[in-house]
Structure 1
Amino acid sequence: MEFCNRVAYHDYEGVALNLDEQKRLVHDLGTHPVMILRNHGLLTVGSSAAQAFLRMYYLDKACQIQAEAQAGGSAVVLPDPAVCDYTARQLNGETGERPQALGRVAYLGPRCACRLPRPGRSRGMSAFVEDAAKAVVASYVEVA
């Protein structure tokens, strides 16, 4: 529900090498944190590489869950739209209630919880984000 009313869409036009399509991508994204590129893939943005990475992880999982739920053949039951919107606002830090990671443990849903490395002063934040991404991927692969 993190992405309720927060997903942009863009029709695939080929590799985005020309400036006109790049402008359309930016326009279509607008203020949304994630975009589904129809017939192509996913795009996420964030205030940091870590935030964009986690959004990609969760968007990919949400797409997988939705595809599996719809493949079951039964009607998908959704919560009340007000609940969906409130949950999205909570998860996007818009209510002041967003839980932060406790210590170095990052919770990534029921299938993945992992310990993240501490950012080293000598290696800098980009190395921390890279290490965190590796830890997330490694723990996801182990659990899956």
Structure 2
Amino acid sequence: MTPEITFTTSTATAESYRNFYRHYISSIQPNRQKSNDLSVLNPLIHPSVIHNSNPLGLAGYKSLIQTNIISTGTTIRIEKLLVDVEERSVVARLVFTVPESCEELIGYKLKKAGEREEGLEVLEHVIYRFDPDKDDGGRMKIGEV
């Protein structure tokens, strides 16, 4: 992990959160993943991560990313990015570009192939909370989405 994206509560700056988040998004792009190995997420995601109020843990979160992003070929672009260092949070407006073959995105049904244009864009506003991982030297990781 590069120094720009490794930080603790005491060293956190708005720029460190932005760099970390941009690295996270680039890490889950389908073109970056040649296999099902999502070990790239280990230093980024807290072992007790929560998604939409559901405790998933690291393995469950990796499965969510694999199923909904990587295997569907969906790409993600950051349109807006706001950081609140005091709240240890990143707020983002994301643009998901969904291939025509994809009929579902993170649990939401989409129009079937042939009923919509290729490259459907779905907007999402999301809040990420960061938590220190005590087992990893207190490094900040995504703790809740």
Q: Which TM bucket (shorter chain)?
A: under 0.3
User: What is the TM-score when the length of structure 2 is the normalising length?
Assistant: 0.26
Which structure is higher in strand share? Answer: 2
Higher relative contact order (CA 8 A, sep 6+): 2
